[in-house]
Chain A
Amino acid sequence: MASSSTWSSYLFIPRDDTLLYFLALLSIFSLLTQQLTRHSVLASSADFEGFGDETDDIIDDESDSSSLITNLPFRSPLPPPTTNLETDHGPPNPQIPDPITTTPTNPNNLDFWDEDEFEGVPILEKIQETPDVIIPIKTEVAPPVRSPPKNIGSFTVEIICVSFLITFIINYFTGKKENENIALSWASRFATKDSIFDKNFSLLGTGDGKDTPLLLKEGQNVFKFYASGRRFCQGMLATMELKSRHDLISRLYNMVVPCKDEITFEVYMNDDGMDQVVFALAKKKAAKVMHKELRDLQTYGSLISSGPSNRKWVAEELMVISESKEVAGDIINEAVLDQDESRLGLYNIIEYFDTGHNVVFGDKAFPKFGKEFISMHFSDQYMGSHRKMLLLKFALPDAKTMADMTRLVALVPYYIDLIGRYKLSPQARSKTDVARAKVAQEVYKELQNARQEALQKKKAEKKKMVEEAEAKLSAEAIRKKEAKDRAKQMKKVMPKVKMTRGH
């Protein structure tokens, strides 16, 4: 009810730029009425043209002067106006005869024709030489032009556009349903009772009640899932950005330029729950782009092609960006690189993840379980509302094959615990401290420079103000001086008058 009242108030009470909106509405309405009135006037004005057919009148005049007039051609009557609905340009119909050219006229009398003087006066052609018998020859009146019967071909644009709109509407509902199914499939797999997030977070969903929905729908293709109440972190926000299946134009575009459904996990770490760590893992191309574009990786991180000595490392298609090899080695540990297939059979899938074995990034495991992996980015220097964050980005599989990303989802709680517990060695810490101090110094210098610039600007402004004031004062002083000089000059110019006292 409240929403309807606000809606009505929004429509009918002009505020801000709503007034302009109404003015535009009014102008469009006036344009429409003007067009329609013009149309009706054009339709009715044909009745007043020419006041009937002049060919019915026969002029019987025997004088020579009258013969001059009567030999003039007829004024062509207007054909009845045609109101056709098609506005496309086309050549005029060549079959319509021109009434003026068809009128037989006496060649001797053409010299006397004056359009302005004899408008609307009919011509009579003499058949015989005698002036007594005059037979009028009527002009051929053009038949009313009828628009040809329209075939389907003339409505091609309309048919295409209407069918596209119908397809668009159908696709909107089917695409919307498809996206909802994917989001619900993910939620039912990972966010319901006894699922991985239920075992790791005490609060699931965006509401505060028990029956609140798990997913928050932000658009037809954006769904959010929130979880909170876990050690080492303030909360976690999973954002599903799906393809715009509901939008036919976007769907057609995605056929040409393919894209994937994505899910991004943002974990907001506690201030004391994360050491000085800047780390990223992605496919080679993406890693290079991340290293260029993300400020923290650019400042602190460097590309690491090989891991610590005598250690298995990530799959060939992956690349690590980290502050140091030590940090990279500690984060990409044996648990996520384990290649021993015999160990995989020891646990069922949930127990396997609960024990912390998240085999994803190894050479053998990655093609199987890492197909949907996009990137990971852990940073204590994140530029945003939260300083310390873990960002994990994966591609979403189809609703039917949602189980394929179980291992990837299990990385989220695994890395929350790993980063939460992780402490740098004294050597690594000294390095990171130096790097951060250097950056802090640079930032401080920048601030100082900015302050100095601001001070200089202020000083310059003050100086200008003082100079202007002085200029004003000096101008006044000059004016006074000039006035004095003028007075002196006047005194000099004035004639000397001797004053005598009368006794």
Chain B
Amino acid sequence: MNNNNNNNGNDPRQPSTAKQYVPPAVSAQDLPVDYSGFIAVVFGIAGVLFRYKLSSWLAIIFCAQSLSNMKNVETDLKQISMAMMFAVMGLVTNYFGPVRPGTQS
């Protein structure tokens, strides 16, 4: 890329030895654990099963965090989309679902 040699003979550059950058192959197992995605799934399921509004909202917040820190689309997106579905499902059942017996507004 930069082959302009200095006039002095003490130039450390050696264009002949230059090697292209090869990113190291990282297996899916070696990738760091997506904790926020996992927490989002847990909160999402809790929101759907126990019908806690706060739980579903927290699931959406952790989904956003997981999405912002996403490095590998293939592996991470499944977990994030799963968490997102549970979170949205929880909110739908909480706000538009039938009223639980014995509750008053």
Query: Which A residues fall within an 8 A CB radius of B?
Result: 10, 17-18, 21, 24-25, 28, 31-32, 35-36, 38-39, 42, 82-93, 147-148, 157-158, 161, 164-165, 168-169, 172, 193, 198-206, 208, 210, 212, 216, 218-220, 226, 228-231, 234-235, 237, 244, 246-250, 385, 413, 416-417
Contacts and interface: CB of A to CB of B under 8 A. Distances in A.
Contacts of A82: 99, 105
A218 B2 contact: no
B82 A24 contact: yes
A228 B21 contact: yes
A172 B82 contact: no
Contact of A229 (B15, B24, B53, B61): B15
15 contacts: A25-B85, A36-B97, A84-B103, A157-B54, A161-B61, A202-B13, A206-B21, A210-B1, A216-B21, A220-B69, A229-B14, A229-B17, A249-B61, A249-B65, A416-B12
Interface in B24-59: 24, 36, 48, 51, 53-54, 57-58
Contacts, number: 159
Contacts of B20: 203, 208, 228
Contact of A202 (B15, B65, B89, B99): B15
B104 interface: yes
Contacts of B21: 205-206, 216, 226, 228, 235, 237
B65 to A, nearest CB: 5
B6 interface: yes
B105 A85 contact: yes
Contact of A168 (B13, B64, B96): B64
Given A25-B85, A42-B98, A230-B17, A157 B68 contact: no
Contacts of A235: 19, 21
Nearest to A25: B85
A157 B105 contact: no
A35 B98 contact: yes
A115 B100 CA distance: 27
B92 A32 contact: yes
Contacts of B60: 161, 165
A143 to B, nearest CB: 15
A237 B16 CA distance: 18
A228 B19 contact: yes
Residue of A18, A83, A202 contacting most chain B CB atoms (<10 Å): A202
Residue of B53, B85, B97, B104 contacting most chain A CB atoms (<10 Å): B104
Ranked nearest first, the 4 interchain pairs of A and B with the lowest CB-CB distance are A229-B18, A84-B105, A161-B57, A203-B18
A200 B13 contact: yes
Contacts of B86: 28
Contacts of B78: 17-18, 21
Contact of B2 (A21, A147, A202, A250): A202
Given A161-B60, A198-B2, A230-B13, A84 B104 contact: yes
Contact of A31 (B61, B82, B89): B89
Nearest to B58: A161
B97 A35 contact: yes
